Amino acid sequence: MNSQRKAILELLQGNRQQYPPSFSGLIHVTSAGLENEGLMFHEVHKDAGKMAKAAASTYKWTGFPSAVMPLDLYVEAEALGAEVNYREKERYEFPILRKAPFRSAGDIEVGTEIASQGRIPLVCDAIRMARTDIGDEAVVGAWIPGPFTLMTLLVDPVKLFGEMKREPELVHGSLKQLSNLLSRVGLAYRQAGADFLTVHDMGGSPAFLGSARFEQFVLPALKDLIENLPKPRIVSVCGNTNTSMPLIAQTNVDAISVDQTNDLAASRKVLGGEMLLFGNIDPVATLNFGSESDVRLAVSRSREAGVDAVWPGCDLVLQTPIQNLRAMIE
């Protein structure tokens, strides 16, 4: 087993490493990696072999020791009826949502066979292929949106926020359904061979909703989801979460990933010695536009602040220079 893979797996079991490793549980493919593998980005979302090849390309061309799938935000939403624009005419653009499927949170209905619907089986196949390809050398992860983030893709946000104010119990009931759905998807991804799961709740961040709404709506569903996912489980929350770390820690997750606006040293103090802290290299200013020396300095600062693993703060910009990812693992 590759030493980097071994160190990351040991870390994910709660065994801190003397030298915190660099990897990611969020989307981290690059246009250079895609070109080197002869792939167009819009192709990889609907073909398991191409998805696996794209996810593995970052490791193959940089040594960055992780591959994560799926490669877009809309897998679960599409399985529930959302319309997705894969942007086939664009060279390097992420898919976007064309149409949300429900008028109200109360209209959401989740069947028991969700793990066999839409592109979810395709993602499972891609995970298996990536494990066969690079699974002895790099970690292979999978990610799912948080329940609240998924809800914002299913219902118009303006309508949703109105219902949160007028009919909070209706929203809570639908979030419970989505939590159950996502736990089944996460289990399917782990059974397919993912080494770990990341719950990326960017739409449910307290930085965007405020701490009160986060505590009322996001936290209960997130706690329920984490409780029903197999370990190791990581929660990734975007935005300035400095004042909300005690709330996020209540999820009882195994690790928390934060972005570049977070005060790592303060978060380390809040979390104490039990929960792992990952972060927080700026994916835009540092990894995409910065120099290799900028990346090395940011990595050094993150380690000094007490992170247990160095992660990009969010998904990579597709045009991220591969030399910057090499610098991140030096």
Per-residue pLDDT tens digits for 33-84: 999 999 999 999 999 999 999 999 999 999 999 999 999 999 999 999 999 9
Strand 96-99 vs strand 139-145: parallel, antiparallel, or unpaired? unpaired
CA distance 176 to 46: 29
Is residue 270 pLDDT above 80, yes or no?
Answer: yes
Q: 180-235, pLDDT tens digit by residue?
A: 999 999 999 999 999 999 999 999 999 989 999 999 999 999 999 999 999 999 99
What was the pLDDT predicted at 175? 97
H or E stretch covering 85: strand 83-85
Residue ranges per domain, the chain?
40-253
The pLDDT-based confidence of 110 (bands split at 50, 70, 90) is confident
Residues 6 or more apart in contact with residue 303 via CB below 8 angstroms: 20, 310
Within 135-263, residue ranges assigned H as helices are: 147-154, 157-166, 168-192, 206-209, 211-213, 219-227, 245-249
Nearest to 162 by CA among 115, 218, 106, 212: 106
Q: Which two tokens stand for residue 310?
A: 């160095």
Is residue 115 pLDDT above 80, yes or no?
Answer: yes
- At residue 282, the 3 state secondary structure works out as coil
- At 272, the amino acid letter reads G
CA distance 201 to 224: 14
Strand 309-312 vs strand 233-237: parallel, antiparallel, or unpaired? unpaired
CA distance 62 to 321: 10
What was the pLDDT predicted at 1? 65
Spell out the CATH class of 40-253: alpha beta
Is residue 111 pLDDT above 80, yes or no?
Answer: no
What was the pLDDT predicted at 2? 78
- At 109, the amino acid letter reads E
What was the pLDDT predicted at 133? 98
Torsion angles phi and psi, residue 88, rounded to 5: -60, -25
**Cα distances (Å, whole numbers) of residue 201 to 29, 109, 205, 284, 327:** 20, 21, 6, 19, 28
H or E stretch covering 235: strand 233-237
* Mean pLDDT of the residues in the chain: 95
The pLDDT-based confidence of 109 (bands split at 50, 70, 90) is confident
**% of the chain surpassing 70 pLDDT:** 100
Q: Which two tokens stand for residue 167?
A: 């009919």
**Cα distances (Å, whole numbers) of residue 32 to 37, 126, 159, 317:** 9, 20, 40, 11
Global pTM value: 0.96
Q: 4-35, pLDDT tens digit by residue?
A: 999 999 999 999 999 999 999 999 999 999 99
**Cα distances (Å, whole numbers) of residue 158 to 186, 261, 266:** 28, 26, 34
Query: Do residues 174 and 151 lie in contact, with contact meaning Cβ atoms separated by under 8 Å?
Result: yes
**% of the chain surpassing 90 pLDDT:** 92
Mean pLDDT, residues 159-177 taken together? 95
Strand 96-99 vs strand 83-85: parallel, antiparallel, or unpaired? antiparallel
| C-alpha 160 chain-centroid distance | 23
